[in-house]
């Protein structure tokens, strides 16, 4: 189990041993996971939800690989930062076709 999966609190939701069927950018490989309810994902910091001074780990979420690649990302402070719309009621707001199982 990778450290980023533990930091995100996803241990119970990740299926180990899965691989993304296409090459990932090198900098994203260590953030890849496969979740039971979201499929192929990258663990990101939701930059648009992050509040300065709070632990970054509180803003780590698995996001569909296709969404991360589509909206763009930056690598900062050892994490992948991404701006993805978020709703407190339903979670990440992503295109349905971005979810891959």
According to the model, what pLDDT value does residue 45 have? Answer: 98
According to the model, what pLDDT value does residue 19 have? Answer: 96
Q: Which of 53, 48, 45 is nearest to 75 (CA)?
A: 45
According to the model, what pLDDT value does residue 13 have? Answer: 97
Q: Mark 74-101 as b/e (b = at least 16 C-beta within 10 Å).
A: eeeeebbbbebebeeeeebebeeebbee
Residue-range domain boundaries for the chain: 3-98
Q: Could you tell me if 14 and 39 are in contact, meaning their C-beta atoms sit under 8 angstroms apart?
A: no
pLDDT in tens, the chain (101 residues): 799 999 999 999 999 999 999 999 999 999 999 999 999 999 999 999 999 999 999 999 999 999 999 999 999 999 999 999 999 999 999 999 999 99
């Amino acid at each position: 189990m990778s450290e980023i999966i533990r930091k995100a609190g996803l241990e119970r939701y990740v299926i180990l041993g899965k691989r993304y069927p296409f090459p990932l950018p090198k900098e994203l490989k260590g953030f890849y996971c496969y979740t039971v309810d979201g499929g192929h994902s990258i663990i990101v910091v939701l930059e648009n939800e992050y509040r300065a001074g709070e632990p970054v780990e509180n803003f780590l979420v698995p996001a569909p690989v296709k969404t991360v690649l589509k909206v763009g990302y930056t690598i900062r402070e050892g994490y992948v930062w991404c701006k993805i719309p978020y709703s407190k009621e339903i979670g990440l707001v992503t295109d349905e076709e971005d979810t891959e199982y």
